């Protein structure tokens, strides 16, 4: 039986800001956006009490919490802290699967410290994270990824939960369907309309019925209703895209202003590509207008590219094709996909470059 840990940092971005600025401690903080516009990237627990959460429009967040403090995101700082935390993970096991900057799965069935107890390892990791970064983390421990993720959510913030085999099926049976990891809001709403409100209700449905209503992922739903999950922790999980986007305080109207922002986004994307030793064949430009209407434009090439200049040239053409935006722009995003990593190119024995 495997021993899986899921570590989830508590309100990560906001907690870093409160750590670095004592005046923010104990106060409702939103990272990203402003009182006028934008989107909240993260919210402190003090802000969450007012219904402020990530992906919420800043204007609505300010209405819900009039004394909310908006701070500018510092992703370079969050990335540095994330690397620091991952070094702690890797001192226990190389089987670490990062899901984002602030959470990861660890398989400690066999570990570097020879510790038979995943519970003790998880508690040691939480203790070291706090001592070395000043931040708190919640942890869940169980025998598969699904249960470990469920466990880490149960006693946040700064909590720990162990789900043992003898408790797993009963816990899953009583779990509200919207609390299932892997079941999003839209799917949960569809299940609820079908009378599937809890794990027990989900378990009553056959695999055939779930596949018929939800496609191939129905097989996954069938298994997790029985507390089963055979997915391995994947330390080299491949990213399918790399991107960056920005919401502006003032809508952009002039091409010059849009290109200035696109250049910054392309620089950020190229930096991440260099760090990941990746090239791409597809560029996508995301445009969100003042009325929240969304438009995407993309182009795919036969050859690879990775430089900021190449990405910028392609994105500039996408901005102008079929025509420049006709309405004020509140958000721009640039992403690359059809990625190829260095080890793939070495195996294939060739590398193509795109000259623009």
Active-site positions read 103
Q: Rounded to whole angstroms, how far apart are CA atoms 131 and 12?
A: 16
C-alpha dihedral over 183, 5, 156, 124, to 10 degrees?
A: -170
Give the burial class of 150: count Cβ atoms within 10 A of its Cβ; 0-12 exposed, 13-18 middle, 19 or more buried: buried
For residue 309, say whether it is annotated as part of any ligand binding site.
Answer: no
DSSP 261-296: HHHHHHHHHHHHHHHHTEEEEEEEEEEEETT--EEE
Q: Which two tokens stand for residue 176?
A: 């509200």
C-alpha distances out from residue 191 to 158, 181, 222, Å: 32, 14, 13
For residue 102, say whether it is annotated as part of any ligand binding site.
Answer: yes
Q: What is the DSSP letter of 5?
A: E
User: Residue with structure tokens 């080299």?
Assistant: 236
Q: Rounded to whole angstroms, how far apart are CA atoms 31 and 43?
A: 6
Q: Which residues are annotated as a binding site for Mg(2+)?
A: 8, 102
């Amino acid at each position: 039986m495997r021993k899986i840990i899921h570590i989830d940092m508590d309100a990560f971005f906001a907690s870093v800001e409160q750590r670095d600025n004592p005046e923010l401690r104990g106060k409702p903080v939103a990272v990203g956006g402003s009182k006028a516009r934008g989107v909240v990237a993260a919210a402190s627990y003090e802000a969450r009490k007012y219904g402020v959460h990530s992906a919420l429009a800043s204007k609505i967040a300010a209405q819900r919490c009039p004394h909310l403090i908006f701070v500018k995101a510092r992703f370079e700082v969050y990335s540095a802290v994330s690397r620091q935390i991952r070094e702690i993970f890797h001192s226990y096991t190389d089987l670490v699967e990062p899901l984002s900057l602030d959470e990861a799965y660890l398989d400690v069935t066999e570990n570097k410290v020879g510790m038979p107890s995943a519970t003790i390892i998880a508690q040691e990791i939480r203790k070291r994270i706090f001592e070395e970064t000043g931040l708190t983390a919640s942890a869940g421990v169980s025998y598969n990824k699904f249960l470990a993720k469920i466990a880490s959510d149960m006693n946040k913030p700064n909590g720990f939960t162990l789900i043992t085999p003898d408790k797993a099926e009963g816990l899953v049976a009583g779990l509200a369907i919207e609390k299932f990891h892997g079941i999003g809001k839209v799917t949960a709403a569809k299940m609820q309309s079908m009378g599937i409100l809890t794990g027990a209700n989900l378990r009553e449905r056959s695999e055939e019925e779930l596949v018929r209503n939800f496609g191939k992922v129905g097989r996954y739903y069938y298994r997790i209703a029985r507390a089963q999950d055979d997915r391995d922790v994947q330390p080299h999980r491949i990213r399918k895209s790399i991107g960056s986007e920005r919401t502006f305080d003032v809508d952009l109207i002039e091409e010059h202003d849009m290109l200035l922002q696109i250049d910054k986004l392309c620089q950020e994307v190229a930096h991440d590509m260099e760090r990941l030793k990746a090239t791409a064949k597809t560029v996508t430009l995301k445009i969100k207008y003042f009325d929240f209407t969304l438009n995407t434009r993309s182009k795919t090439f036969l050859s690879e590219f990775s430089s900021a200049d190449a990405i910028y040239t392609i994105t500039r053409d996408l901005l102008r094709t079929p025509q420049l935006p006709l309405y004020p722009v509140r958000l721009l995003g640039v992403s690359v996909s059809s990625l190829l990593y260095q080890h793939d190119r070495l195996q294939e024995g060739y590398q193509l470059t795109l000259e623009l």
